[in-house]
Amino acid sequence: MRRSMTETCTLFLALMAMTCGCGSSDSGAGAGGVAGSGGSAGTGGSAGSGGVAGSGGVAGSGGSAGTGGSAGSGGVAGSGGSAGTGGSAGSGGVAGMGDALLVDGIGTADMNANSIALDATSVYWLNADLRLVEKCGKDGTARTTVASNLVGPVGIAVSDGYVYFSDTNYSYVDNKYGAVLRVPLQGGNVQTIVGNVWGVAGLAVDATDVYYVNDSDGSVWRVPKAGGAPTALVGPSSNQSGAFMLAVDDDSVYFATDGFNDADKAIRKVSKSGGVVSTLVPSYWATDLALDQGNVYYVEWATGDLMKVSKSGGAPATVVSGAVATVAVDATNAYFSYYSYSLGKAPIAGGSETDLAQETPASIAVDDTYVFFATRGPDAQLRRVGK
């Protein structure tokens, strides 16, 4: 009788184990499930140990950029000053097309819309809190300080082996105003292209020149990349109360002006050689500008609408309605931030909007594969997501 009860208990426990379906820890999750150790979650799922949520998530073994640490030793800034502290990226970098952290701790203040630039291998950004220009690989590795000891960096572009940036100085630190500067991509001595400029703001570059605007008097300027005498394309006497962002194509400079009167707020255009200033969109105060082959894209401050207008003028058209803050474009889509909650995209020819990430970008840049963005608010991060 005792032997029979033992056999019965053994059989009962075996059946219970089969009913529970207990598996190994590396089983993958289904849609909406939870990933196993090191795995990535299914669509909409939350990551398990080491995993990252979302379709196309980041592999556990790769990891995202780490925090803290010291900056690369190559960056030299200011007038021979030494590079500031930044933070070293994680050793593995990130992989995959999902929303992924590249670098943590890139500032606590909101960046302006022109704070990220790209080349073939790296991302460059302005760290206004620490007064730095920094860079990392497009996978988040090798965070490096490129320039330091700045005052108020506001605009950035990359071209021909240099990072070009503008540095405001409204407080007149060291008895000088702002400047347009450049530094080698790997760091080194910062070179002054144009110095002692009151109100210097956004900038752009082409093959030969740097273009910049002055937000105190509305003037627009061109100067050779290696330095020299600047040329006023739009002088301070042209009834512009302030210009704060610009973009260039092969022929023209497009810029946004502001002021106390509606007549001063506009999207305008001038030839790269100067001359007549054309008003493309009157009585609009834009918070960002972007170009494609035929159109100017801008964010209208009062409504938050993402708009586009032909480079030759005409009636503006709405691309995205409401609550947009900043924009970047490629040949087919506009990529934009909603003020409150997400990074989105929409076809420039019209169509449905798509959320790419549940983060709020302050600045956006795109290449052929990814959207790179700096998040808004305290403890800002540099992130990327597949298009």
DSSP string, 46-70: BP-TT---STTPPPTTT--------
Instruction: With a cut of 60, say whether residue 8 has pLDDT above it.
Output: no
Instruction: With a cut of 90, say whether residue 158 has pLDDT above it.
Output: yes
191-204 burial code (b ≥16 CB/10 A, e <16): eebbeebebbbbbb
At 117-137, the pLDDT tens digits run: 999 999 999 998 888 999 999
pLDDT band at 338 (very low <50, low <70, confident <90, very high): confident
Q: 2.40.10.500, 3.30.70.890, 1.20.120.790, 3.50.50.60: which CATH number matches 60-198?
A: 2.40.10.500
Residue type, 345: K
Token digits of residue 361: 């970008």
Using CA atoms, how far apart are residues 183 and 165, in angstroms rounded to an integer? 9
pLDDT band at 110 (very low <50, low <70, confident <90, very high): low
Residue 68 is predicted with a pLDDT of 38
Residue 378, number of CB atoms within 10 A of its CB: 9
Across 141-162, average pLDDT: 94
86 vs 101, more confident: 101
Residue 12 is predicted with a pLDDT of 38
At 293-303, the pLDDT tens digits run: 999 999 988 88
Q: What is the pTM of this model?
A: 0.75
What does the CA dihedral 219, 220, 223, 227 come to, rounded to 10 degrees? 50
Using CA atoms, how far apart are residues 217 and 293, in angstroms rounded to an integer? 29
Residue type, 140: G
Residue 197 is predicted with a pLDDT of 87
Instruction: With a cut of 90, say whether residue 61 has pLDDT above it.
Output: no
Q: Is 290 exposed, middle or buried (0-12, 13-18, 19+ CB in 10 A)?
A: buried
Residue 45 is predicted with a pLDDT of 38
At 271-285, the pLDDT tens digits run: 999 999 999 998 778
Q: Where are the alpha helices (DSSP H) in 73-196?
A: none
